[in-house]
Every structure is written in structure tokens, then in C-alpha cells.
């Protein structure tokens, strides 16, 4: 789901192409790479754990946290060796954190692994591949640590370092009474939208006040009435380390989708919190904080990548910053000022040549191009040259793309040499030494690093400003009190306060790593060479071939590539004791023609590594002149080519026959093309060439006479290319030229294959009939009948039908057409079938039953193109033997599924632009008339959505009045869903009808059928017949059910025992919902709105809910189901509908006030929560997240219709009366059961999910159109230590 935003820690293995005879050497698992120049260790990404890595690095670079964790010894935490002992009390999470921090400090490796830590969390491979929110992880990890450290001296570690308090106050303006509520925090969550920065957000939250006046008064407990009041919030206590979470993700209610806020949001490196605190009499140092970590999110709201900027407080890293010279690049400037910017090849080559490693990510290459010329690749070059990656692939001789196509470099042959000036001035280095100053003159100032999983890079302090805005921007901020000073002995001392047992473990691990690296280095430098011995080879057919068995001619030796060529030569002289004379070593390769020598190795003092001799290299050992008495040419220019040569075979009498034969021939690349005549003993003729990929006669190109002296290489021939040689006297093929290009053209005479499908016996099943493109189909049919020796009568009652590659018979070909007019190619297969071919005014149509077409089930019918849809439908029903007239026709769309319906039954097939060979679907059911909608109608009676408590009387009444659809399983949540719905039937209603008309007709039908059920209108009576006629004749409403009213769904519904409980006096007593996933979805409010404007869609269903009293909802009214929690029981009273006017804002304060008024309770004595039935969870609605600026009189953007509540019509709100129930829990027993069932289903599906991951070749290849899976919650499993 995250696309390319994840950055892999392990380099992918390139898909190298090895020549024939070479093999890939499988290397053993290499030890971890040592630390880079920064002397800091990163963390490996397990697939989706970049968020975890960023947070762990922040905690690691918080020395006070790290050392407090180190101070807990094995006597308190236990030992990892005893973790599998059920009797031992081992606190695995803090132990694994200690070990991980020790590895980051002391172990000499580029990146440490978090696998042991995530195993202690109880995570599976599936959870390690899924990315989560780092703000959520921060809270969950701290909670897990607090639980793990219960009963130890570090039980208050999190509370001591990160815990602070906020006080919320409401002051009555009349009696000055102060209502106060204190709230703990581990991190401050601040808004980003419509704010300029952190200080602005803190000012709005902790300085500005919310005023209660006018119609938004506050109920004062002292005054016992509604009064004017002021609400404010202040920071009461501050922690040593302040964590700030930025709310960058919001919900767009217009587009109905989440989005990331990328606007500019500043934050200071040092901040004074004194203006935001309740107490301000202390020294400023108590309120001053310094920024030391910034966690950055790159991407969107549905995926991305995290990395972190860290300040090295203890100077543990080696800060060396590489800074590009600020002078403009001379070459690029010349290109920019000239016309060369139109040449993308030169621009990209110039940009890459300025990089020291000549290597760049493709995305950065596009950004540098934009910076240099002022236009992006898409605007400047895409129209002419295509996408950037495709352009780089087409110029592979200049640009080298990595195997994953994410990075690009210049080929070695195209590297531009740098001048001495550029080489000396291109980069300058700033280090911590006195030779070049760092960010400031004070060398004791800590420096910043960018830690991106396993990659650690130094950065400047000013680089933090780049994370103020954009898709890659700051997401979490970490501050430490400025007065916190580190002891001098901790500076640049990674062993400071690390426990002795961890020091010993890390020292032993470093010694083991050094040994493994030495062994691996030795193994990696040993390469296998294939030695081809010259005395045991001979030269023929343009290449070298073994004169003896391969085992005797080729020896495999293993050699250290760090040794020199002279060492190799001396070793071979000792090995080959029979060798006499000079020994020359040359690089050879196996090509299709045999073995060819390319380059002679020279310079005995050079190592094999310097000469780029790789594993599996072929080395030819010879005297450097001849092999078997034949002088051998070497080099790329004379590489032998194995070509396929086609020429005419001659008969014994010397006459040419008409059969072409193909034979392989070997020619040197630098030989003239004319030598092919000598090889075939042909004095002269015409040569045609074709690439290895071309097939058929269209790909042949004649070589002009003046080009016969060109070489095979100059004409672009490669191994496997084909050459056709035609004698000058041959007339089987003719030459033609078009636009100066010679091509070979076959004679017009060819053949078609005709198969007997007349169900008549014949000696031959199929015959080949010679024809040309101008041959008439009638002549081919008559020839086929004669050659198949069938009855002559078939000439009047047969036709030819093309057969496609799947064996399906296509529409017959008219006899009057030529092959060219019928678009038939030579070699096509035709079927000779009974029946006449359609005339020019007739159509042959295929049709099948059902909503889709299955191979082999199609039937066909021939109709006049002037026939109507009704006539065509009648013919197809007769052909298929189907009774009745309740059918309609649909076209088949490009997905071979049911498409557009043929509604106009009187329209002709020609008017509907149907053609011969089209397939129609015969679908059961009558289409609604034009301008009508076919809408399924359900009756809805709400019940307690969670199965909570009702009284026995209410319960019996609810069960009697509840109509349930059959039980089903909600596959999305894995829970048993039961809804109070009953299907009343499919109803046809005019698109011009309003929602009020629908309700009115529903009430009319309900009353009439109810009277029939009660016997007021006996069957067969005039009154009953009258009302049946009225119902069927309605212009707005038609029952799409049985003509017998006793069989309609309405009547069956009214015969239920609960029917007497419902009384619907009028349309105002009905509430209309759309039905989504068997639940009420969107509330349809406006009774005057036309149905076609309600966005009902093709298969939208409507459920109607009877009400006890009239209802007229406005556009700002929200209908909520409220339930009051019963004191002392984990149950709720039956639900009550509450209408909430959100004109003044959909805020928590407004909702709490409305609920308090609804239940006649004091607003400060209630707690409310929203219920999420799919998760069996209640989320409390906070009463302190809404503030109004006193000066601006402008509401902030807090909205209950956004995250995390997403409040909408029909949602359930739980209400708790704090006067009788002060429990914090909102859940019920059924919620516990539902969660347990979900957990069991998730565990049961884990195996299948892991199997899918193994089968998938790319776990993150989601495409733009791919559906996103449901978001999974994050959890850490901790044992009980109380």
C-alpha cells in the first residue's frame, strides 16, 4: 500500500546477464557492514518499521532515558536466558531495549536489527510489514514500558521524564466560581491546519479564551442557572522532555477523503513556554526548551516513510559535512544559456558528470534538471522523448539504471573528466576540528544527523527549515529543558553508564564480527577462472572449438583476485608442466559460434581486481599468435556471428525448386556482406536481411548493390539474425521499393484452409484452396466443395465462416466479397457450414442466456437490420425455447459482461448500430419504463445495535416488532450482524417523483393492504378491485411483484404478528435512508428533492423507518441514537432518537449540551462516547477539544464529523450519568464477546495471509487503482508483573 516510499536496507541483487558457460557464484551470508564515517549506527527496516526506527533512535539519543534504563539490573528485570522459563519473572521488553541501545552505542555495525525487540512485542511478520502511525506508537510503547517496569525502581521512568499536566478552567462571570479539571499528558497534540506554526497553535490553545454568551451560555453549579462564562487552559506542570505531535492529517468533507496538510508550519529550535503556563514566577530556565529530535513523514495519509533528524547531545558521532561549492557549474551554465537545453541527452549527462560518484536517484535527477533549466522533464521533453525512465533505458550505452530502476549513473565510457579547478573546488569539508569551522565557532555545540533507517548522514541546523512544509515535513517534535546539562565524562564516550554485562557482550560481539569479516573478505576475493588451453583447441567455422573432450580442454582453477597477473602466470606455468614457449593469457567469451578471444591481459604487476577479472571469467591460454597452425583474429571487431541463411535448394538436374532451406553460417563481424555469395557458391544475386525478432516477409529489407561492401556489423546484424539470398535469375520473389527502402514481396498466390463443418461425410476433413487477395469468396467456396468431394447441392445452401484462434465460428462472409474486402489474411482457417450467408441487409447475431457469456454457450440468429428490438427478442426466445415475455436484451460490454440495456423496443437494429458478429445477452426480467427507477424498498425498525439491556416488556415488544433478514456474517469485521429489516419488494417509481411522493405512495399502499389484511376489503369485492386498479394505474408507483396482491411482499409483511404495532398516519411519520451493506446509510432529508437528484445509483436500496411523531429535518439537523448507561451494570437502556441542530458547529461542547438537555442532566455531570459497532469499541467524546478565540471570534477547525469520530446520521451515542456512575468504561459484555471473536478470526486467517505474502513477488506494488485494506490497530503484548 506504500508504493515506492519504503526505502530498502538491503541492496537488491542486479539481474546480470551472463554469457553462455558462466555461472553465478553463490556467496555466503556476509557479516554486518562496519559503521560509516559518522560512527553512528542505524536500524534495519523489517519492511514497514521505519516509524519504529525513528522513535527508537529518538529514545536512544535521549541520554537521560537511556541511562535510566541501563540503571535497572538483572536482579530487577531478570535475564534473557530465562525468558522461556515459565517460573522466571523476565521483563523482556526493557531487556531488549537495553540490548538494542548497547548495540547502537558499541557494536561496530552499520545498522542494528530490531527483530528481537519486535518479537518481544508479540508482533508477527505480518505486523512488521505494515506501517503504523509513530504518534500512536509513542503512546503504546510508553504504556508497555510502564506496565513492564511495575514493581521495579524504574516504575516511574516514563512519568518522571515525560509526564505533564494541563488544567482546564471555566470561570463564572457572575459569582466568579472556578470549575477546574486537571488532565495528564505525555505529549501535546497541536493543530496544523490554518496556523502558521507551533507558537501560534500554543497561543490559541493556552492563551486565548473561549467565551460562553448569547445562546451558548454555561450552566453554573453555584448559581444553578445559565450564565456567561470564560473557559481557558494552561500548562500546570512541565516535564523534562516535551513531546509535540502535529495533526497533519485531516478529512475533506466535500471530497469525502482524508488528506495530509502540507502547508508551512514553523517551529523554533528554542522555545519559552512561560506565556502558556499557569505559574510564571519561576526562572526562565524552567520554561526554556531546546529542540533535539524531529520525526519526519514523507508521503500521503495512506502510506509513506519516516526518518528522523537527531541532535547528538553527547557528541557520539563524527560530524563531517560534505558541502557542494556554491559557484555555478560552468558546463551546465553554458548549456542553460545556449540552445543545447533542447538536447536532453547532453543535459542529463552534464548533471550526472558533476556528481562525485556519478550516481543519482532518478527522482533527484529530475529535480536537478528542474532547478537548472527551470522546467520539469514532463513539460520540456516528455511529449517528444517520453517518460524519463524510458529515455534512460533507450540510451543504455550512456546511462546505467539499477536493477530496480531507482538510481542511474553514467557509463564508464561517457564519464566527463573534471578539470583540476573543478576537482579541487567542487566540494569542501567541514569537520569538528579547528581546521574548518562547523555550524558555529563553538566546537562544543552538538550537531545534527539525519537517520534514515540504516543510513546516517550529517546535516546542518538550517536543513531543519526544509521540513516546515511539503509532502516531506515534520510530524513529531521532541524538546528537552535547556538547563539539563550532560557531565563531561559522557562526552564522546559511548561506554558511559553501560552495564558491565552488556559491555562484555558487545566486546565479544565486536571480536566475533572482526573475525567473520576477515573470513568473508578472503572468501569473497577468491574467484573461479575457466582456463581454456590453446594446444587442445582448433580453429574452424570462424571460432575456437575443443579438439578433445571439454574436461581435458578446460580447467577450472580458484585464485585470489588481489594477486597480480604475474602471480597467476607463474602458478599456471607450475601447474601446466607440459607448457613450452611464451604463455599469453587472454579474456575469451563463449558466443553462439564457439569461443572467441577478445582482449590480451598485460601488466604483470597489476592485480586481477584492477584488471576487472570477475568470478567465472573465461581465460584462453595460448602463444598469442596461432591455434593449431591457424592464425586467430582477436577483438570485438572480428567477433564471429552465427547467422541463419535462407536460399533456394537446387534439384539434381540443376533446376531450382520452389522450396527455401535454412542453414547456419558463421561470419566475422568485420567481413563484407558480399562474402555470403562465396559461402553459398553463388556468383551474384540479391541479399535480404532481417533482425532476429522479425517474422514473416514484412521484416525483410534488401541490401542495395553499393552496400554489399559494408560489413555485417555495420549493417546491424547480430547473432541469430537471418539473411536471405536470392539468385539473380530467380523469379519466385519480386523486389519493390517504397520511400527508398527495398523490401522483398511474395507472389500474390497463396492459400486458405477450409474445414468441412457441414456434418456430411467426405474423404477429406480439410483442404487448402489457392487464392489471391482479389479472389471472390464464392469461388473459394465452390473450389472447396469440389476438393472435399461433397454434393453439388451445397453450392446453394452453404457458406464460409472464419474460425478464430479459440475455434469459434465467426459471422459468415458474403459470397460477393473479395478476400481483401472481407479482411481475410492468407493462411486463415474457414469453416464450410450449412446455411446461406447473410445478405448485405442482414445481421448474424450471437446471444446467450444470463448476465455473462460462457464459451460454447452462444446461440445465433440471422435477422434483418431493419428488424426492431422486440422482433429480435421474440426470435431469440423462440430459438432458445424460453416461455413468457418477461425478458429483455442487453449488449455485451468490453469486459464480456452485461452492459447497456436495449430499452427502445421499437428501435431498429441498424439505428442501434448493431453489427454482424455482435453478442447480445438475454436477461430475465422486464425493464422499467423509460424515466422510471426500479428501487428495492425495505422497512426498518431500529433496535439496540449492540444487544444491550432492555426491560422484559420492551424486549418482548421489540422482538415482536422486529423483522429480521436471514443471519449473515459481516466479512469485513468477522462479526455476526443482525439487522431489523424486512424486504417489501422492488418498486418502480418515476425519476420525476420527489421523496415526498415516494413516502405518500408508501402510506397509501400500506393503508390499502392493511385494510385488505384486516378483511375490510374482502377479496373479489368491488372495493378491493377498485383499490387494486388504483395501485396498478398509479403514474408514480408500480409494484414490481406478482400481479396477485396476496403474493406481494407488502401483503406478506402485513401478515406478521407485529403489523398491528405500526401505524403510519402520513408521510411526515416516515424517515427515509439509503441502505448500505444491510445497514441504514445516508439519511434522505429533503422531501421536495427529485429522486433523480438523490444520487441513488443503479442499485441503490431505500429503507423506510416508521416514526411515532412527525418529523421535518433541516439540512443542519443530525439524527443520533442515544442510550443511557445503567448504573452498576454493563448495559444500556433502549435507544432514543435525538435530533441535534449543528448550525452553531458540530463540536463536542455543543453535542454535550444537547445531550444534557435531552436527558435533563447537568452538562458537567455527563460523559458521552460514540459507538463503533464494526470494532465493538466506544470512543469518549472529549469536552475540552473545542475553543473559540476571544479576539477573532472564530471557531477552530475541530469538528466531530472529522477524525476520529466521523459523526453522521444514525450513529449511536452512549450517555453516562456521573451522578450515579463514575466508571470510565463504556463497553458491554457483548462488546467483549465481539472483540474476542474478531481476535479468533484474525488468528485463524494469519496462515493464509502469510502464504499470500510468500507467493507475492512484491509486497508493496500496489497500483493507483488498487483497493486499500482496512487499517489495523497497533498493539504491544506485555506480561503481567503486578
Output the pLDDT for position 916: 84
b/e code 97-110 from CB counts within 10 Å (16+ = b): bbbbbbbbbbbbbb
Q: For residue 1126, which of 953, 951, 957, 980 has the smallest C-alpha distance?
A: 951
Catalytic residue, candidates 305, 307, 315, 949: 305
Higher per-residue pLDDT: 235 or 772 = 235
Rounded Cα–Cα distance for residues 472 and 584 (Å):
58
| Out of 306-310, 645-649, 961-965, least confident range | 961-965
Output the pLDDT for position 518: 86
Output the pLDDT for position 1036: 42
Output the pLDDT for position 1251: 57
Among all chains, which residue has been given the C-alpha cell 586467430? 632
| Out of 328-332, 806-810, 897-901, 1146-1150, least confident range | 328-332
The arithmetic mean of pLDDT across residues 951-968, rounded, is: 35
Residue 80 pLDDT grade (very low, low, confident, very high; cuts 50, 70, 90): confident
Whether 148 and 91 have beta carbons less than 8 Å apart is answered as yes
Among all chains, which residue has been given the C-alpha cell 527508398? 740
Among all chains, which residue has been given the C-alpha cell 516511574? 156
Residue 690 pairs in a beta bridge with 722
Output the pLDDT for position 1044: 47
Residue 1083 has pLDDT above 80, yes or no: yes
Nine cell digits for residue 157 = 521512568
Higher per-residue pLDDT: 172 or 442 = 172
Residues 590-625 pLDDT 10s: 999 999 999 999 988 999 888 889 889 999 999 988
The arithmetic mean of pLDDT across residues 1262-1278, rounded, is: 57
Angle value at C-alpha 29, between 26 and 32, nearest 5 degrees: 140
Rounded Cα–Cα distance for residues 637 and 672 (Å):
12
Output the pLDDT for position 21: 40
With pLDDT > 70 as the criterion, what percentage of the chain qualifies? 77
Residue 183 pLDDT grade (very low, low, confident, very high; cuts 50, 70, 90): very high
| Out of 534-538, 723-727, 825-829, 1092-1096, least confident range | 1092-1096
Residue 947 has pLDDT above 50, yes or no: no
Highest mean pLDDT pick, 81-95, 491-505, 1066-1080, 1140-1154: 491-505
Output the pLDDT for position 1253: 52
Residue 657 has pLDDT above 90, yes or no: no
Higher per-residue pLDDT: 250 or 1093 = 250
901 SS3 class: strand
Residues 784-819 pLDDT 10s: 888 888 877 788 888 999 988 778 888 888 888 888
Residue 903 has pLDDT above 50, yes or no: yes
Residues 1009-1068 pLDDT 10s: 667 666 666 666 776 666 666 665 554 444 433 344 444 545 454 444 444 445 677 888
Whether 105 and 314 have beta carbons less than 8 Å apart is answered as no
Residue 1123 pairs in a beta bridge with 1214
Output the pLDDT for position 291: 96
Nine cell digits for residue 922 = 438475454
Angle value at C-alpha 1093, between 1087 and 1099, nearest 5 degrees: 100
Residue 88 pLDDT grade (very low, low, confident, very high; cuts 50, 70, 90): confident
The arithmetic mean of pLDDT across residues 488-495, rounded, is: 93
DSSP category for residue 852:
B
Residue 106 has pLDDT above 80, yes or no: yes
Rounded Cα–Cα distance for residues 944 and 955 (Å):
10
The arithmetic mean of pLDDT across residues 6-16, rounded, is: 36
Residue 431 has pLDDT above 60, yes or no: no
Residue 510 pLDDT grade (very low, low, confident, very high; cuts 50, 70, 90): very high
Residue 166 has pLDDT above 90, yes or no: yes
Output the pLDDT for position 649: 66
The arithmetic mean of pLDDT across residues 1202-1229, rounded, is: 87
Residue 441 pLDDT grade (very low, low, confident, very high; cuts 50, 70, 90): very low
Output the pLDDT for position 452: 94
With pLDDT > 90 as the criterion, what percentage of the chain qualifies? 28
555 SS3 class: strand
Q: Are strands 448-452 and 303-311 parallel, antiparallel or unpaired?
A: antiparallel
Residue-averaged pLDDT of the chain: 78
Output the pLDDT for position 1248: 59
Residue 25 has pLDDT above 60, yes or no: no
The arithmetic mean of pLDDT across residues 955-961, rounded, is: 34
Residues 694-725 pLDDT 10s: 444 456 788 888 888 889 888 888 888 888 88
Residue 323 pLDDT grade (very low, low, confident, very high; cuts 50, 70, 90): low
Residue 1185 has pLDDT above 70, yes or no: no
Higher per-residue pLDDT: 419 or 201 = 201
CA 569 to each of CA 276, 535, 1012: distance values in angstroms, whole numbers, following the listed order: 80, 17, 110
Residue 319 pLDDT grade (very low, low, confident, very high; cuts 50, 70, 90): confident
Output the pLDDT for position 946: 44
Catalytic residue, candidates 50, 638, 758, 1048: 50
The alpha carbon of residue 674 and the mean position of all alpha carbons in its chain are separated, in whole angstroms, by 56
Asked if 305 is an active-site residue, the reply is yes
623 SS3 class: coil
| Out of 11-15, 213-217, 473-477, 859-863, least confident range | 11-15
Higher per-residue pLDDT: 1031 or 1269 = 1031
Residue 153 has pLDDT above 90, yes or no: yes
| Out of 689-703, 858-872, 894-908, least confident range | 689-703
For the purposes of burial, counting CB atoms within 10 Å of the CB of 482, is it exposed (0-12), middle (13-18) or buried (19 or more)? middle
Higher per-residue pLDDT: 916 or 986 = 916
Cβ-based neighbours of 170, under 8 Å, separated by 6 or more: 178, 179, 212, 218, 229, 230, 231
Rounded Cα–Cα distance for residues 1024 and 1012 (Å):
8
**Cis status, amide bond into 946, omega within 30 of 0:** no
Strands (E), 393-440: 399-401, 407-410, 427-430
Among all chains, which residue has been given the C-alpha cell 571469467? 617
Higher per-residue pLDDT: 61 or 1007 = 61
Higher per-residue pLDDT: 1100 or 293 = 293
Output the pLDDT for position 268: 94
Output the pLDDT for position 942: 65
* Length of the chain (residues): 1282
Maximum Cα–Cα distance across the chain: 129
Whether 1102 and 984 have beta carbons less than 8 Å apart is answered as no
Amino acid at each position: 500500500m506504500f508504493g515506492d516510499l519504503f526505502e530498502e536496507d538491503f541492496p537488491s541483487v542486479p539481474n546480470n546477464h551472463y554469457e553462455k558457460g558462466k555461472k553465478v557464484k553463490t556467496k555466503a551470508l556476509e557479516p554486518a557492514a562496519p559503521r560509516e564515517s559518522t560512527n553512528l549506527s542505524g536500524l534495519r527496516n523489517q519492511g514497514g518499521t521505519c516509524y519504529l526506527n525513528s522513535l527508537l533512535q529518538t529514545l536512544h539519543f535521549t541520554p537521560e532515558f537511556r541511562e535510566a534504563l541501563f540503571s535497572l539490573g538483572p536482579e530487577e528485570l531478570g535475564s534473557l536466558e530465562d525468558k522461556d522459563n515459565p517460573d522466571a519473572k523476565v521483563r523482556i521488553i526493557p531487556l531488549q531495549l537495553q540490548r538494542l541501545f548497547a548495540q547502537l552505542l558499541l557494536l561496530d555495525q552499520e545498522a542494528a536489527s530490531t527483530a528481537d525487540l519486535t518479537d518481544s512485542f508479540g508482533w508477527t511478520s505480518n505486523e512488521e510489514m505494515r506501517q503504523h502511525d509513530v504518534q500512536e506508537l509513542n503512546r503504546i510503547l510508553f504504556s508497555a514500558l510502564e506496565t513492564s517496569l511495575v514493581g521495579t525502581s524504574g516504575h516511574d521512568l516514563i512519568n518522571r521524564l515525560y509526564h505533564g499536566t494541563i488544567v482546564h478552567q471555566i470561570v463564572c462571570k457572575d459569582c466568579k466560581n472556578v470549575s477546574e479539571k486537571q488532565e495528564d499528558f505525555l505529549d501535546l497534540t497541536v493543530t496544523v491546519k490554518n496556523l502558521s506554526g507551533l507558537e501560534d497553535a500554543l497561543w490559541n490553545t493556552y492563551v486565548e479564551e473561549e467565551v460562553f454568551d448569547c445562546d451558548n451560555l454555561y450552566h453554573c453549579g453555584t448559581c444553578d442557572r445559565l450564565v456567561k462564562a470564560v473557559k481557558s487552559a494552561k500548562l500546570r506542570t512541565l516535564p523534562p522532555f516535551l513531546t509535540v505531535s502535529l495533526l497533519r492529517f485531516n478529512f475533506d468533507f466535500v471530497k469525502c477523503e482524508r488528506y495530509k496538510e502540507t502547508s508551512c508550519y514553523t517551529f523554533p529550535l528554542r522555545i519559552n513556554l512561560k506565556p502558556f503556563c499557569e505559574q510564571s514566577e519561576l526562572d526562565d530556565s524552567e520554561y526554556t526548551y531546546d529542540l533535539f529530535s524531529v520525526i519526519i513523514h514523507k508521503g500521503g495519509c495512506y502510506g509513506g516513510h519516516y526518518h528522523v533528524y537527531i541532535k547528538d547531545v553527547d557528541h557520539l558521532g563524527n560530524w563531517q559535512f560534505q558541502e557542494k561549492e556554491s559557484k555555478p557549474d560552468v558546463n551546465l551554465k553554458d548549456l542553460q544559456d545556449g540552445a543545447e537545453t533542447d538536447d536532453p541527452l547532453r543535459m542529463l549527462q552534464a548533471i550526472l558528470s558533476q556528481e562525485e560518484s556519478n550516481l543519482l536517484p532518478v527522482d533527484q535527477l529530475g529535480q536537478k534538471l528542474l532547478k537548472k533549466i527551470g522546467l520539469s522533464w514532463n513539460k520540456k521533453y516528455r511529449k517528444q522523448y517520453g517518460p524519463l525512465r524510458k529515455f534512460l533505458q533507450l540510451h543504455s550505452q550512456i546511462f546505467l539504471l539499477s536493477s530496480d530502476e531507482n538510481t542511474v549513473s553514467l557509463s564508464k565510457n561517457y564519464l566527463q573528466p573534471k578539470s583540476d579547478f573543478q576537482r579541487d573546488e567542487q566540494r569542501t569539508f567541514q569537520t569538528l576540528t579547528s581546521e574548518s569551522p562547523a555550524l558555529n565557532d563553538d566546537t562544543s555545540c552538538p550537531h545534527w544527523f539525519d537517520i534514515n533507517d540504516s543510513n546516517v548522514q550529517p546535516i546542518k541546523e538550517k536543513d531543519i527549515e526544509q521540513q516546515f512544509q511539503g509532502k516531506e515535513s515534520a510530524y513529531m517534535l521532541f524538546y528537552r529543558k535547556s538547563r539539563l546539562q550532560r557531565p563531561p565524562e559522557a562526552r564522546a564516550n559511548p561506554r558511559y553508564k553501560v552495564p558491565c554485562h552488556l559491555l562484555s557482550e558487545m566486546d565479544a560481539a565486536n571480536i566475533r564480527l572482526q573475525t567473520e569479516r576477515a573470513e568473508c573478505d578472503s572468501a569473497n576475493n577468491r574467484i573461479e577462472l575457466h582456463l581454456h588451453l590453446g594446444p587442445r583447441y582448433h580453429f574452424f567455422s570462424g571460432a575456437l572449438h575443443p579438439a578433445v573432450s571439454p574436461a581435458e580442454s578446460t580447467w577450472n582453477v580458484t585464485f585470489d583476485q588481489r594477486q597480480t597477473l604475474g602471480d597467476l602466470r607463474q602458478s599456471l606455468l607450475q601447474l601446466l608442466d607440459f607448457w613450452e614457449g611464451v604463455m599469453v593469457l587472454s579474456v575469451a567469451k563463449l558466443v553462439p559460434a564457439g569461443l572467441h578471444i577478445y582482449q590480451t591481459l598485460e601488466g604483470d604487476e597489476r592485480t586481477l581486481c584492477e584488471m576487472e577479472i570477475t568470478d567465472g571469467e573465461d581465460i584462453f591460454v595460448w602463444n598469442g599468435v596461432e591455434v593449431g597452425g591457424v592464425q586467430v583474429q582477436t577483438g570485438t571487431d572480428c567477433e564471429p556471428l552465427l547467422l541463419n541463411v535462407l536460399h533456394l535448394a537446387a534439384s539434381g538436374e540443376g533446376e531450382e525448386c520452389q522450396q527455401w532451406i535454412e542453414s547456419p553460417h558463421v561470419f566475422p563481424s568485420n567481413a563484407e556482406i558480399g562474402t555470403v555469395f562465396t559461402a553459398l557458391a553463388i556468383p551474384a544475386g540479391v541479399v535480404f536481411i532481417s533482425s532476429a525478432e522479425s517474422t514473416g516477409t514484412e521484416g525483410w529489407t534488401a541490401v542495395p548493390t553499393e552496400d554489399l561492401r559494408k560489413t555485417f556489423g555495420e549493417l546491424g546484424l547480430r547473432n541469430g539474425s537471418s539473411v536471405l539470398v536470392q539468385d539473380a535469375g530467380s523469379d519466385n520473389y519480386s523486389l519493390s521499393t517504397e520511400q527508398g527502402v527495398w523490401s522483398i514481396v511474395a507472389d500474390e498466390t497463396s492459400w486458405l484452409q477450409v474445414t468441412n463443418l457441414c456434418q456430411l461425410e467426405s474423404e477429406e476433413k480439410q483442404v487448402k484452396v489457392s487464392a489471391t487477395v482479389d479472389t471472390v469468396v464464392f469461388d473459394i467456396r465452390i473450389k472447396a466443395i469440389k476438393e472435399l468431394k461433397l454434393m453439388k447441392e451445397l453450392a446453394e445452401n452453404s457458406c464460409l465462416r472464419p474460425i478464430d484462434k479459440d475455434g469459434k465460428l465467426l459471422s459468415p462472409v458474403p459470397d460477393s466479397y473479395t478476400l481483401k474486402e472481407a479482411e481475410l489474411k492468407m493462411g486463415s482457417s474457414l469453416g464450410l457450414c450449412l446455411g446461406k450467408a447473410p445478405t448485405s441487409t442482414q445481421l448474424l447475431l450471437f446471444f446467450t442466456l444470463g448476465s455473462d457469456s460462457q464459451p460454447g454457450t452462444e446461440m445465433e440468429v440471422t435477422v434483418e437490420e431493419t428488424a426492431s428490438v422486440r422482433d429480435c427478442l421474440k426470435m431469440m426466445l423462440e430459438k432458445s425455447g424460453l416461455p413468457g415475455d418477461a425478458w429483455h436484451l442487453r449488449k455485451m460490454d468490453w469486459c464480456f459482461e452485461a452492459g447497456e440495456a436495449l430499452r427502445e423496443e421499437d428501435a431498429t437494429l441498424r439505428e442501434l448500430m448493431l453489427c454482424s458478429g455482435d453478442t447480445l445477452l438475454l436477461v430475465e426480467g422486464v425493464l422499467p419504463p423509460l424515466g422510471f427507477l426500479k428501487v428495492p424498498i425495505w422497512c426498518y425498525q431500529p433496535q439496540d445495535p449492540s444487544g444491550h439491556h432492555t426491560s422484559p416488556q420492551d424486549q418482548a415488544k421489540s422482538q415482536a416488532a422486529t423483522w429480521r433478514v436471514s443471519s449473515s456474517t459481516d466479512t469485513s469485521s468477522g462479526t455476526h450482524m443482525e439487522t431489523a429489516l424486512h424486504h417489501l419488494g422492488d418498486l418502480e417509481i418515476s425519476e420525476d417523483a420527489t421523496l415526498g411522493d415516494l413516502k405518500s405512495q408508501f402510506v397509501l399502499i400500506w393503508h390499502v393492504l392493511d385494510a385488505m389484511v384486516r378483511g375490510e376489503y374482502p377479496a373479489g369485492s368491488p372495493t378491493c378491485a377498485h383499490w387494486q386498479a388504483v395501485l396498478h394505474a398509479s403514474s408514480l408507483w408500480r409494484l414490481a411483484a406478482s400481479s396477485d396482491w396476496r403474493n406481494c411482499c407488502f401483503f406478506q409483511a402485513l401478515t406478521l404478528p407485529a403489523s398491528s404495532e405500526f401505524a403510519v398516519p402520513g408521510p411526515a411519520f416516515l424517515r427515509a435512508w439509503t441502505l448500505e451493506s444491510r445497514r441504514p446509510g445516508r439519511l434522505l432529508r429533503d422531501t421536495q428533492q427529485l429522486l433523480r437528484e438523490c444520487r441513488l445509483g443503479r442499485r441503490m436500496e431505500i429503507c423506510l423507518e416508521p416514526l411515532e411523531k412527525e418529523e421535518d429535518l433541516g439540512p443542519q439537523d443530525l439524527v443520533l441514537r442515544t442510550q443511557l448507561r445503567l448504573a452498576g451494570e454493563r448495559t444500556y437502556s433502549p435507544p432514543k432518537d435525538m435530533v441535534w441542530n449543528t448550525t452553531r458547529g458540530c463540536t463536542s461542547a455543543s453535542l454535550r449540551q444537547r445531550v444534557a438537555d435531552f436527558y435533563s442532566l447537568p452538562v458537567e455531570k455527563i460523559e458521552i462516547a460514540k459507538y463503533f459497532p464494526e470494532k465493538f469499541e466506544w470512543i469518549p467524546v472529549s469536552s475540552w477539544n473545542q475553543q473559540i478565540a476571544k479576539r477573532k471570534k472564530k471557531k477552530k477547525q475541530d469538528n466531530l464529523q472529522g477524525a476520529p469520530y466521523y459523526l453522521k446520521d444514525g450513529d449511536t451515542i452512549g450517555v453516562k450519568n456521573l451522578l450515579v456512575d463514575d466508571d470510565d468504561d463504556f463497553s458491554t459484555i457483548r462488546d467483549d464477546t465481539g472483540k474476542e471473536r474478531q481476535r479468533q478470526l484474525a488468528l485463524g486467517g494469519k496462515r493464509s495471509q502469510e502464504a499470500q505474502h510468500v507467493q507475492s513477488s512484491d509486497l508493496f506494488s500496489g497500483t493507483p487503482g488498487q483497493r486499500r485494506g482496512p487499517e489495523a490497530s497497533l498493539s504491544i503484548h506485555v506480561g503481567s508483573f503486578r
